């Protein structure tokens, strides 16, 4: 019967030394991010992106991917809270890093930004497959789009595409709409449709396909149209967030600064949507948006304040839970109108939408159903882009005691009346019978 | 033949009425009491047919109190009737005392079963 707050406080007590080094949103002071590059010139060619991260308080540690002293953990404690891998052509990481240690890194709840590019190595492809994203098997293929390319494409092979198909989510991409198209030049990947943890953030237009731009196309390409994802995210069950992009140039200063005009469209934009897209996405991936915390699940009978140990059927009860959202600096009250609570025993007997007082408290009241047994209050909240909330609290429900039934049943009043009338009739009759003349 | 049948029915009815008028008053009182009890029982059965038998124990209790007291009144009538050779030696007071005691037990049980 441990609720979330008790288990969290218990865990934090035992793991306090470990927690103080992790990227727990309760301790956001340590925000160290390891940036793996396969070429140190990326520091300057992608400087705008790195500087925006630094200005938000991240501590970036630039290392070459093949550096032999690379380590994510030391003596069981993680040294970094986030990982950015901009090393698409690295075959083997140096030091103690490999695809398994990166998978463990994500399993520990830490976030990852991974970018592939043309000629992505098997190592990078392997890490992406672990996260549910499958790159095109042809290593020389790039995304080509003959109708949605940018007119500033110098090569003329229509591989610099201007993508506009963004996922509709204010939490992942921010409230401000990204007006300009996002420039992309890289490889395609696809997502398994049965995987419900990954999501396409930037998809290709229906006319895109993945093929080698320099050689003639001999057979129909495997990845085509909107099935091609250009940038995907994955939110793991432990709420670690991973961004996987098919293009390293998406993050570069050159594409940030360049204007964009989609072929065939009259709109010319001075600045591409890349910088806004990448900044908002990095805010989401490092939990500055959309990270929820729920706690203080309280229930009691109407009119009381203490939590009873057992309810009776047809009791009126009130239920409340507090949900907060991390804003990057502090816990703000979460405001939404679709959080629901279930009163559950094998199936939900009661399902109610909680109303909020806009200060983080979600509450409702309902009547316990006419069934007795052991129920659970369950709050299961899985909204796109938000952390999943899963709280439950068990409570038994008993039937009426023998003296809690209604004393007199209204339907039976005629029978009560008839019995007493008969008794009165008997009484009157015996007097009349005895004393008549 | 129809006319004679209806005339027979009328004659029968009249002879019954005049014969009944000759019965003693105390027997007529008992008959009235029995009619009242049975009538109350019939009302309850009609009510149950209307609303259903939800508190069945209450229904049984109500109907049985009426029928039970009617049965006891019929027994009283049999024992008190002077024309009845079988109970010639039984004192009518004894019959009435039995009636009262049985009714007391009956109503005790009924109130308990009424719920």
Q: Which 3-state string (H, E, C) describes chain A? A: CCCHHHHHHHHHHHCHHHHCCCCCCCCCCCCEEEEEECCCCHHHHCHHHHHHHHHCCCEEEEEECCCCCCCCEECCEECCCEEEEECCCCCCCCCCCCHHHHHHHHHCCCEEEEECCCCCCHHHHHHHHHCCEEECCCCCCEEEECCCEECCCCCCCCCCEEECEECCCHHHHCCCCCCCCEEECCCCEEECCCCCCEEEEEECCCCEEEECCCCCCCCCCCCEHHHCEEEEEEECCCCCEEEEECCCHHHCHHHHHCCEEECCCCCEECCCCHHHHHHHHHHHHCCCCCEEEEEEEEEEECCCCCCCCCEECCCEEEEEEEEEEECCCCEEECCCCCCEEEEEECEEEEEEECEECCCCEEEEEEECCCCCEEEEEEEEECCCCCCCEEEEEEEEEECCCCCCCCCCCHHHHHHHHHHHHHHHHHHHHHHHHHHCC
Q: What was the pLDDT predicted at A5?
A: 58
Q: Which of A252, A285, A318 represents a domain boundary (last residue)?
A: A285
pLDDT in tens, A309-325: 999 999 999 999 999 99
Residues of B in contact with A419 (CB under 8 A): 61-62, 65, 107, 110-111, 114
Q: What was the pLDDT predicted at A224?
A: 87
Q: Can you give the CATH number for the domain in which A340 is found?
A: 2.60.40.1930
Q: What was the pLDDT predicted at B25?
A: 85
Q: Residue A38 falls within a domain, yes or no?
A: yes
**Residues of A at the B interface, defined by Cβ within 8 angstroms:** 409, 411-412, 414-416, 418-419, 421-423, 425-426, 429-430, 432-434, 436
Q: What was the pLDDT predicted at A14?
A: 47
Q: Residue A87 falls within a domain, yes or no?
A: yes
Q: What was the pLDDT predicted at A10?
A: 53
Does residue A272 sit in the same domain as residue A305? no
For A210, phi then psi, to 5°, come to -110, 115
Interface list for B 28-67 with A (CB within 8 A): 29-30, 33, 36-37, 40-41, 43-44, 47, 51, 54-55, 58-59, 61-63, 65-66
Which of A415, A429, A430 is closest, CB to CB, to B114?
A: A415
Residues of A in contact with B40 (CB under 8 A): 418, 421-422, 425
Residues of B in contact with A416 (CB under 8 A): 58, 62, 114
Which of B69, B96, B99 is closest, CB to CB, to A422?
A: B69
Q: Which residue of A has its CA nearest to B28?
A: A433
Residues of A in contact with B59 (CB under 8 A): 412, 415
Instruction: State the nearest Cα–Cα gap between A370 and chain B, in angstroms.
Output: 18
Token readout for A287 is: 């939990």
Instruction: State the nearest Cα–Cα gap between B90 and chain A, in angstroms.
Output: 17
Do A412 and B54 lie within an 8 Å CB cutoff? yes
- Residue among B41, B36, B33 nearest B61 (CA): B41
Residue A2 scores a pLDDT above 60: no
Residue A426 structural domain: 408-435
Instruction: State the nearest Cα–Cα gap between B17 and chain A, in angstroms.
Output: 22
Which of B41, B58, B107 is closest, CB to CB, to A423?
A: B107
Residue A25 scores a pLDDT above 80: no
Q: Which residue has the tokens 């109970």?
A: B87
Q: What was the pLDDT predicted at A235?
A: 93
Which of A418, A430, A434 is closest, CB to CB, to B66?
A: A418
Q: What was the pLDDT predicted at A11?
A: 52
Do A412 and B65 lie within an 8 Å CB cutoff? no
Q: How far apart are CA A256 and CA A49, in angstroms?
A: 9
Top-confidence residue, A159 or A381:
A381
Do B29 and A430 lie within an 8 Å CB cutoff? no
Residue A26 scores a pLDDT above 70: no
Does residue A52 sit in the same domain as residue A146? yes
Per the structure, the count of domains in chain A is 3
Q: Residue A199 falls within a domain, yes or no?
A: yes
| Average pLDDT for A4-16 | 53
B81 touches chain A (CB under 8 A): no
Q: What was the pLDDT predicted at A335?
A: 92
| Average pLDDT for A4-27 | 49
Does residue A79 sit in the same domain as residue A113? yes
Q: What was the pLDDT predicted at A248?
A: 92
How many CB atoms within 10 Å of residue A325? 20
Q: Say which residues have a Cβ less than 8 Å from residue A261's Cβ, sequence separation at least 6.
A: A150, A151, A152, A162, A267, A268, A269
Q: How far is CA A51 from the centre of its chain?
A: 26
- CB of A162 within 8 A of CB of A229? no
Residues of B in contact with A429 (CB under 8 A): 29, 33, 73
User: What are A38-45's contacts with CB under 8 Å, separation 24+?
Assistant: A38/A64, A38/A65, A38/A66, A38/A86, A38/A87, A38/A88, A38/A89, A38/A90, A40/A64, A42/A86, A42/A248, A45/A252, A45/A253, A45/A254
| Average pLDDT for B20-27 | 86
Q: How far apart are CA A340 and CA A354, in angstroms?
A: 5
Q: Residue A1 falls within a domain, yes or no?
A: no
Query: Interface pTM (ipTM) of the complex?
Result: 0.90
Q: Residue A420 falls within a domain, yes or no?
A: yes
Q: What was the pLDDT predicted at A363?
A: 94
pLDDT in tens, A171-183: 999 889 888 999 9
Q: What was the pLDDT predicted at A22?
A: 37
pLDDT in tens, A191-212: 988 888 999 999 999 999 998 8
Do A430 and B61 lie within an 8 Å CB cutoff? no
Q: Can you give the CATH number for the domain in which A276 is found?
A: 3.40.50.880
Instruction: State the nearest Cα–Cα gap between A332 and chain B, in angstroms.
Output: 55
Does residue A97 sit in the same domain as residue A82? yes
Residue B38 scores a pLDDT above 70: yes
Do A412 and B59 lie within an 8 Å CB cutoff? yes
Q: Which residue of B has its CA nearest to A428?
A: B33
Does residue A207 sit in the same domain as residue A340? no
Does residue A381 sit in the same domain as residue A416? no
Q: Say which residues have a Cβ less than 8 Å from residue A4's Cβ, sequence separation at least 6.
A: A294, A295, A297, A391
Give the H or E element holding residue B23: none
Q: Residue A327 falls within a domain, yes or no?
A: yes
Does residue A147 sit in the same domain as residue A256? yes
Does residue A428 sit in the same domain as residue A304? no
Q: What was the pLDDT predicted at A15?
A: 46
Give the mean pLDDT of chain A.
Answer: 87
Residue A23 confidence class, pLDDT cut points 50, 70, 90:
very low
B102 touches chain A (CB under 8 A): no
Q: What was the pLDDT predicted at A401?
A: 93
pLDDT in tens, A117-163: 888 888 999 999 988 899 988 888 888 888 888 887 677 778 888 88
Instruction: State the nearest Cα–Cα gap between B102 and chain A, in angstroms.
Output: 11
Which of B26, B30, B65 is closest, CB to CB, to A422?
A: B65
CA distances from A226 to A116, A160, A207 (A): 19, 17, 8
Q: Which residue has the tokens 């396909």?
A: A209
Does residue A324 sit in the same domain as residue A391? yes
B113 touches chain A (CB under 8 A): no
Q: Which of A250, A285, A320 represents a domain boundary (last residue)?
A: A285
Q: What was the pLDDT predicted at A17?
A: 42
Residues of A in contact with B36 (CB under 8 A): 425
How many angstroms separate the most distant Cα atoms in chain B? 57
Does residue A395 sit in the same domain as residue A375? yes
Does residue A421 sit in the same domain as residue A396? no
Residue A7 scores a pLDDT above 50: yes
Instruction: State the nearest Cα–Cα gap between A366 and chain B, in angstroms.
Output: 28
B74 touches chain A (CB under 8 A): no
Q: Residue A8 falls within a domain, yes or no?
A: no
Residues of A in contact with B99 (CB under 8 A): 430
Angle at which helices B25-51 and B56-80 pack, to 10 degrees? Answer: 160
For A76, phi then psi, to 5°, come to 85, -5
B107 touches chain A (CB under 8 A): yes
| Average pLDDT for A77-99 | 89
Residue A105 scores a pLDDT above 80: yes
Does residue A186 sit in the same domain as residue A297? no
Q: Residue A6 falls within a domain, yes or no?
A: no
Instruction: State the nearest Cα–Cα gap between B85 and chain A, in angstroms.
Output: 22
């Amino acid at each position: 019967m441990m609720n979330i707050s008790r288990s969290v406080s218990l865990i934090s007590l035992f793991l306090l030394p470990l927690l103080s080094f992790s990227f727990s949103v309760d301790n956001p002071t340590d925000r160290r991010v390891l940036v793996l590059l396969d070429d140190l010139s990326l520091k300057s060619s992608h400087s705008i992106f790195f500087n925006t991260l630094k200005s938000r308080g991240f501590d970036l540690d630039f290392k070459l991917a093949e550096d032999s002293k690379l380590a994510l953990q030391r003596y069981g404690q993680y040294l970094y809270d986030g990982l950015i891998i901009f090393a698409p052509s690295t075959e083997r990481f140096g030091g103690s890093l490999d695809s398994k240690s990166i998978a463990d890194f994500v399993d520990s709840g830490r976030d990852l930004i991974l970018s592939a590019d043309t000629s992505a190595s098997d190592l990078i492809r392997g890490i992406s497959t672990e996260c549910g994203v499958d790159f095109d098997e042809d290593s020389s293929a790039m995304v080509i789009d003959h109708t949605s390319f940018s007119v500033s494409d110098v090569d003329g092979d229509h591989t610099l595409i201007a993508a506009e198909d963004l996922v509709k989510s204010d939490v992942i991409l921010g409230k401000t709409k990204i007006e300009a198209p996002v420039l992309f030049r890289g490889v395609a990947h696809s997502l398994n449709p049965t995987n419900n943890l990954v999501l396409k953030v930037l998809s290709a237009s229906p006319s895109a396909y993945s093929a080698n731009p320099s050689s003639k196309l001999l057979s129909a390409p495997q990845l085509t149209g909107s099935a091609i994802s250009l940038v995907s995210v994955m939110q793991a069950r432990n709420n670690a967030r991973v961004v996987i992009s098919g293009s390293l140039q998406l993050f570069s200063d050159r594409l940030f600064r360049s204007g964009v005009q989609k072929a065939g469209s009259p709109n010319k934009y001075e600045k591409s949507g890349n910088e806004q897209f990448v900044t908002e996405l990095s805010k989401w991936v490092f939990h500055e948006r959309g990270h929820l915390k729920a706690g203080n699940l309280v229930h009691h009978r109407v009119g009381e304040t203490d939590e009873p140990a057992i309810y009776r059927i047809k009791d009126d009860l009130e239920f409340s839970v507090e949900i907060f959202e991390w804003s990057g600096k502090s816990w703000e009250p979460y405001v939404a109108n679709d959080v629901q609570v279930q009163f559950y025993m094998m199936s939900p007997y009661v399902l109610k939408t909680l109303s909020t007082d806009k200060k983080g408290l979600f509450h409702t009241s309902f009547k316990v159903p006419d069934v007795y047994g052991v129920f659970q209050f369950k709050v299961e909240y899985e909204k796109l882009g938000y952390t999943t909330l899963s709280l439950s609290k068990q409570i038994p429900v008993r039937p009426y005691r023998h003296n809690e039934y209604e004393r007199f049943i209204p339907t039976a009043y005629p029978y009560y009346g008839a019995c007493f009338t008969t008794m009165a009739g008997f009484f009157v009759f015996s007097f009349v019978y005895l004393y008549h003349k | 033949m129809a006319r004679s049948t209806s005339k027979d029915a009328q004659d029968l009815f009249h002879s019954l009425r005049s014969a009944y008028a000759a019965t003693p008053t105390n027997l007529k009182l008992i008959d009235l009491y029995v009619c009242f009890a049975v009538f109350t029982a019939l009302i309850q059965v009609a009510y149950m047919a209307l609303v259903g038998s939800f508190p069945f124990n209450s229904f049984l209790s109500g109907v049985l109190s009426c029928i039970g007291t009617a049965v006891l009144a019929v027994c009283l009538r049999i024992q008190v009737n002077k024309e009845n050779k079988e109970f010639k030696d039984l004192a009518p007071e004894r019959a009435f005392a039995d009636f009262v005691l049985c009714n007391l037990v009956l109503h005790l049980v009924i109130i308990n079963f009424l719920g």
